[in-house]
Structure 1
Amino acid sequence: MKKIECVIMDWAGTAVDYGCFAPVSAFIESFRAIGIEITAEEARRPMGLTKIDHVRALFQMTRIGEKFQEKYGRPYNENDVQGRYAEFQRLLFATLKEYTGPISYVIETIDTLRQKGIKIGSTTGYTKEMMDVVIPEAAAKGYSPDNCVTSDGLPAGRPYPYMIYKNMCDLAVPSRFSVLKYGDTISDIKEGLNAGVWTVGVILGSNEMGLTEEEVQALPEKELKSRMSEVRNRMYAAGAHYVVDSIKELPALIECINARMANE
């Protein structure tokens, strides 16, 4: 019988770092260092890609490309990309340890899934070197998946499916129908769809919401519901099979997916 045997989690904005703040400030400061202001919304838009591709995506945005041309009298080139990526890394590594706290209910929910025999994989837009900082810090705070795959040594990162396939190999999961990809960005959703696995987006704590936990709690209920609805709509428009408010809903959703597959 087909059933979910493996959940593949994203990291920042999904499992740790509520609101996915560690990379955002580093992208903003990296571009500020060459005299170009980018907004938090712009910095978040390509989130989930490998970080070098994220820098390329920022330069490719019309407004940012035009600002560079205006300031330097020439189009940006790969050297400029590499320069901003190097500065991004320097800034990120200086603060990364501070952004490794597990998001609410992640630890308890992962324990529940493991009790059902479900394996926990993970993919990320971070490099292996970045994850060498994040993994032990998150583990010390109670979150430790069974496997972590970065795009290092693979043909590409998100939205391509290779990190999911590598998790399936590492964890000996034989069928894509038994895999659920769970993440907080549009790139996560595209990664899951391209791998042909069940794909679930999460709203609270996500890069797409872009708010701290305190900011979420302080919002008037009507505005919070409106913002959550916007994120939900974007994720469904990107092709997500399901979108949940928080990870607390995942065990029950998995039971629904299992029942759905049993009836097909």
Structure 2
Amino acid sequence: MPMTRPPYPLFQVAVERVELITPHMKRITVDGRCLPDFRFGLPAQWLKVFVPLSDGQHTAGRAYTVRCFDPVSQKLDIDFVLHGDNGPISTWAGRARPGDPFEISAVHPRSGFAIQPSTERYLLLGDETALPAIGGILESLPGHARAEVFVEVADAAEEQTFQSAAAVNLTWLHRKESGTQVSGSLEEAARAVGWPDENTVIWVAAESSVVKSIREHALAVWGVDRKALHAAGYWKCGESDHRDEEGFA
């Protein structure tokens, strides 16, 4: 769908480098010097991406998490989940080549996940759409922290490797055998986790109904403090432009 120009500035960028991280995850690198308000050291910031259509118009913006922003080179990495031809931005990303132009917004001023030095334990749960944020969070954790991570992906080929100074226990959940977009394995993993202590921060991002279920379990069963729970539905089955009104994005 062609977009109506948003009431905030957009920045013209061009693809500088492409890398296929997994069969269905593509990294696109651009010059990020245009971004005025990026906060270095704050993982999981997001911005909106607008790509050109064949008629010269641009798509409506879709939110994407910044995977990495190098403070020295100012190169910005954005990871795109490739859904085949299901969606104009995914289609564009699958075919993108160096030199291809597109537009991005500034990062959202309320986006990002602050790492608190006093926090010792993190529980991170998500699907492949959450991997850019999860990767950024893990790479930002201090050496004294521990992170329990559960990620649902299609199969073993979609697994990634992350670097972290923290002690990380990463469990991959494969839904290939279920034949569905959402298998329920992420919810099962959450329910099998021991009750988080008061010094645990929980971060969840995945399909909206899955996140809602895990959020409710954390509040009702674990009794976690809402301030220690960060949860967002990054997408919703059957909707092309889902916006989570309860959590963060």
**TM-score category by the smaller chain?**
0.3 to 0.5
More helix by share: 1
TM-score of the superposition, structure 1-length normalised? 0.33
More strand by share: 2
TM-score of the superposition, structure 2-length normalised? 0.34
